[in-house]
Structure 1
């Protein structure tokens, strides 16, 4: 089984990532008591499925992030393969695993934001080592936005899990059996999805086609200026401003986009900075405040969301 190691640049806690996934509805993740994070997902190119186990020995002093270790299997046509370390599939797998946990981003300067913004300082102290945990790919992020549009998150998560159960691939990861979300080609073949309208199914088919054509490739999306990538994404059926931002930020892993179409972030930001409800609706003013978070605007926005979710309902 191929083994990998990642040396985070800047703070990182796999424990914090795992805790976040437990509360992240689309993931439907259930923590194992052995400290191993287990994932299963289609590769970025949709041609295979990765099963991956990750672990990290926490440093007692908390001064620096310890090495993250991983073992993975690559499944092609349902069969496990072991690509050589220098092959394209192995390099692509490493890059995708790193991106999912935001380990591809140099966060050496992230703690320094605390020196210029006390709100960020408080968030970093509340969530030490937490980086954005992403959807496995822009394709999966896009599929989630279509599935979850105008229905409850719990209902959408159930539909997503059922798609994995009925049409995804089963993968054994560190002695546990996981189900991966259907790869684009498999999703394209599904004719009916209980709980989703015909229009949503058509849009999922269109997203599968877009993924197979490379339009949802993370590297391609990140290589463009953010505004260009968002414009391209909004050309896909069913993808509006909110969905486009989610795909770019939480699918491709752009670290420095202020989410202008996410009111929950705006409300959380207004509460954290002591602003009134009028300010919470003024994205220009909020974006100006967020300029101090560069080049980690996406990261701070995630911490604000996490903070808001931790508050009692009467305080949010």
Structure 2
């Protein structure tokens, strides 16, 4: 059974613009963020066109196409085009206050617009492993995943497989159970909603090359969210340690997955996905090691990272991309 909804959006109103202030604007580079966001040609949830970032999200229940650009004065501009599914009865001619607030929160969380990098840069330039990276990638923010359910699914999907295949599996999930939207001839995708995945059986995912375990974990996670036993509001109200403990209590979420979610969604600065293969490869290359660092060396290297752990990890990941 395919639950894909492939609709042509109808315009409901003119484009509206929202301006969002950037914290520490001297250390913000929209271009550096675009480089990271454009790292894979398999990406299908956002697009970069003519130096602008485009994505469809739901804001206060209304689908909107966001076109994000650098406003050039310490602010980011978000051009918002509300669109409507033809079969929806309710339509709005104006963005609600709640929708505007949700769009602001989403983009701020996605691009980490409220981060202040000055302390991290000072610390990194004094760290032999990270020295020079602040100047090389100045203004790069830790690109997040603002939707908690999507971040959970992405970590489950990406476990023990390479990044290219993880993108392939995610795209299959979107194609079969998400939404495909056409605006001005361009196709945009919405990630599946928890209630859709919660209603599946593992046998509906395994033909898409999901392992039996991953299929069960995705469904179980969605069911917890639908049942209200786990939510973004709960996670947002917790300390780092509380959030980590709650995440690893979910089926299929271990230490790496929990820290990845707390780094990319939760925005906890101390989140450190220590088991991450990309982090190991970056450390190996930076230190010119003959082999990947073992657990003891990793703990020695990262032991002092503390509140800089998430950004240190992210900047090391950046070194793995083409310059």
Q: TM-score range by the shorter chain?
A: 0.7 to 0.9
Contiguous gaps of at least 5 residues in structure 1:
59-64, 312-316
- Displacement of 1:57 after TM fit? 4.7
> Relative to structure 1, is the Cα distance of residues 32 and 95 closer, same or farther in structure 2, using a 3 angstrom cutoff?
closer
Question: Which residue number corresponds to residue 52 of structure 2?
Answer: 36
1:71 alignment partner in structure 2: 79
When the two chains are superposed, the root-mean-square deviation of aligned CA atoms in Å is 3.2
Match of 1:61 in 2: none
Change over 3 Å in CA distance of 1:259–1:92 after alignment to 2 = same
The residue aligned with 1:268 is: 282
Distance (Å, rounded) in 1 between the aligned partners of 2:244 and 2:252: 13
Structure 2: gaps spanning 5 or more residues: 1-14
Q: CA deviation at 1:41?
A: 4.0
Question: CA distance change for structure 1 residues 278 and 26 in 2, over 3 Å: closer, same or farther?
Answer: closer
SS at match of 2:117: coil
> Where do residues 99-110 of structure 1 align in structure 2 (5 Å cutoff)?
99-110=109-120
TM-score (norm 2): 0.78
How many angstroms does 1:242 deviate by? 0.9
Report Cα offsets for 1:72-124 as digits up to 9, x if no partner. Answer: 3566777564664533x331232122101111333354433355335434111
Contact residue 45 and residue 191 of structure 2 kept, 8 A: no
**Which deviates more, 253-262 or 7-16?**
253-262
> Counterpart of 1:228?
242
Provide the residue aligned with 1:17 in structure 2.
33
Task: Identify if the C-alpha distance between structure 1 residues 161 and 229 changes in structure 2 by more than 3 Å, giving closer, same or farther.
Answer: same
Q: How many residues align?
A: 298
Instruction: Work out the CA distance in 2 between the residues paired with 1:214 and 1:102.
Output: 28
Would the alpha carbon gap of residues 164 and 302 (structure 1) be closer, same or farther in structure 2, given more than 3 Å must change? same
Q: How does 1:153-164 map to 2 (within 5 A)?
A: 153-164=163-174
How does the TM-score come out when normalised to structure 1? 0.79
Describe the SS at the equivalent of 2:303: helix
Aligned equivalent of 2:299: 284
CA offset at residue 172 of structure 1?
5.1
State whether residues 51 and 69 of structure 2, in contact with CA within 8 Å, keep that contact through their aligned partners in structure 1. yes
User: SS in structure 2 opposite 1:130?
Assistant: coil
State the partner residue of 2:148.
Answer: 138
Are the structure 2 counterparts of residues 167 and 50 from structure 1 closer, same or farther at C-alpha, using a change threshold of 3 Å? farther
